[in-house]
Amino acid sequence: MRRLRKVKIVATLGPASNDYAMIRALFEAGADVFRLNMSHGTQDDIRARHTIIRQVEADLGRPIAILADLQGPKLRCATFANGEEELVVGQPFRLDLDDTEGDKTRVRLPHPEIFAALEPGASLLINDGKIRLRVDTCGADFADCTVMVGGIISNRKGVNVPDVVLPVAALSEKDRSDLEFACELGVDWLALSFVQRASDVTEARDLAKGRAAILSKIEKPAAVKAFDEILAVSDGIMVARGDLGVELPVQNVPPIQKRLIRRTRAAAKPVIVATQMLESMIESPVPTRAEVSDVATAIYEGADAIMLSAESAAGQFPIEAVTTMNNVAIEVESDPTYKEVIDSSRRIKHTSIADGIVSAAREIAETTDVVAICCFTQRGTTASLVARERPHVPIIALTNIESAARRLCLTWGTHCVMVSEVDRFKSAVIHAVRAALKYGFAVETDMIVVTAGVPFNQPGTTNILRVAPCAEYLIKQTEPE
């Protein structure tokens, strides 16, 4: 089950991908991580999918990462007496806390926290930004607005407030329940929605208690502004371009995507590019040329992972969507320009022994006939540092800790292998050689680079590097399997 590309693929599960046969087929087609969307389905539905994924993992003998995506607070208007109304540019329109059903002049917005944060001149976006209102005057229970972009407004449409940081917690009561449920279930990653500030992330981290890694979704302008602080307390980042494109001018999203990818890479943390990557494949077996270019762009930028949402969850062609992503990735990564772009974007400050070790491993691998970098890791830190270097050769991450192997399935270029605990460097190298041969990364006449930390089984001790001829260590195989 060796992948022929380094970028990872995240596939969302849903009604179209709900049974063992389909989930296994998606993994075999190229999915490395399965996303469970807590916005859709019951906890029983989520548990059933989780069970199937773990069965596929056991049957195929390969670690698989599971990402539970928390819904986040949903800000919506209330209902209209007629079901919907048409708003015309220039007309006045009021949002308030009145329980009366809405009409063409007003509607209830049952979120006093929004009114508390609004100021005159702020924008309100309704129905994914299709309607735009400008706040003229506001108070604790109302906002009188002018319609700047008109259209049809109907029951319970979503409301976005791009201009202010809302006094709204990233975790609703539903999210807290789902977070505890997902952690008890044993997911590997938690994706946190509606992040506005670093404290949103630390709250989720405190609740998770180390049972799952925290991935922050950047989908609000406030999160872009506070990105460095958010990144510092996150284990990974998702560039959620859908909501970003609603709350910001669409032309701002591509440069933001590029900046966030580079800064997350520099921090040695995984970054996912998400939303509408192959959206036409919900109904079509082939993507548009623009979608293929979008996927390719994310790969050229060095993203750790690219994500399918409705394409694999509810679309008619989930396997074809994963296969397309896989094929695009293989083609892009075989392009000489890809290596040039990745190398030119490698700007890393080396401040530790581990930084120096992994940098040396990459240099050796790229200037000799070494075919793979094998790293022993406890929490995944060493493998993440190697991945940050974006070496041209594959990375084999070896660990005796199952949770670390699964989490690393989201990290660029890593092939995760479970091994027994080792206490001597020679036995570590033998394990590395066996893994390189078993999974087709090397043949007996090849050399690999091995990194590890001595003493073994202590996180954060990466301090040794060896170039290992496979043939020599095959002769030395005195350690038990």
Which candidate in 54, 74, 76, 426 is catalytic?
76
Contact 233, 201 (CB under 8 A): yes
Pick the last residue of a domain from 334, 367, 389.
334
pLDDT digits (tens, 9 = 90+) for 130-166: 999 999 999 999 999 999 999 999 999 999 998 888 8
What is the rounded distance in angstroms from the CA atom of residue 340 to the CA atom of residue 10? 26
Cα distances from 369 to residues 372, 393, 435, 448, 468, in angstroms, run 9, 10, 18, 9, 11
Does residue 339 lie in a domain region?
A: no
Residue appearing with tokens 């002049």: 105
Active site residue 74: no
Per the structure, the complete domain to which residue 119 belongs is given by: 84-160
35 is catalytic: yes
**Domain annotation covers residue 79:** no
Considering the domain architecture, whether residues 215 and 249 belong to the same structural domain is answered as yes
From CA 471, how far away is CA 343, in angstroms rounded? 31
Tell me which residue of 296, 302, 288 sits closest to 260, measured CA to CA: 302
Average pLDDT over the chain reads: 94
Are residues 381 and 459 both part of a single domain? Answer: yes
> Are 330 and 205 members of one domain?
yes
Q: Which of 177, 174, 228, 234 is CA-nearest to residue 200? A: 234
The residue to which tokens 């992040």 are assigned: 195
* Same domain flag for 153 and 199: no
344 within a domain of the structure (yes/no): no
Note if 157 is an active site residue.
no
Mean pLDDT to the nearest integer, 358-387: 93
Exactly one of 5, 106, 197, 217 is catalytic; name it.
217
In the annotation, is 12 catalytic?
A: no
**Consecutive H or E run containing 386:** helix 381-388
Residues 153 and 176 occupy one common structural domain: no
Query: Per the structure, how many domains does the chain have?
Result: 3
Domain termination residue (choose one: 160, 182, 208): 160
- With 0-12 CB in 10 A as exposed, 13-18 as middle and 19+ as buried, what is 217? buried
Domain CATH number, residue 388: 3.40.1380.20
Task: Read off the pLDDT band of 477 (50, 70, 90).
Answer: low
Does 281 fall in a domain? yes
Contact assessment for residue 127 and residue 243, using Cβ atoms and an 8 Å cutoff:
no
Q: Is the pTM of this model over 0.85?
A: yes
Catalytic residue among 275, 382, 414, 462: 275
198 and 325 fall within a common domain: yes
**One of 6, 8, 24, 35 is an active-site residue; which one?**
35
- Spatial distance between the Cα atoms of 262 and 264, rounded to a whole number of angstroms: 5
* pLDDT of 479 above 70: no
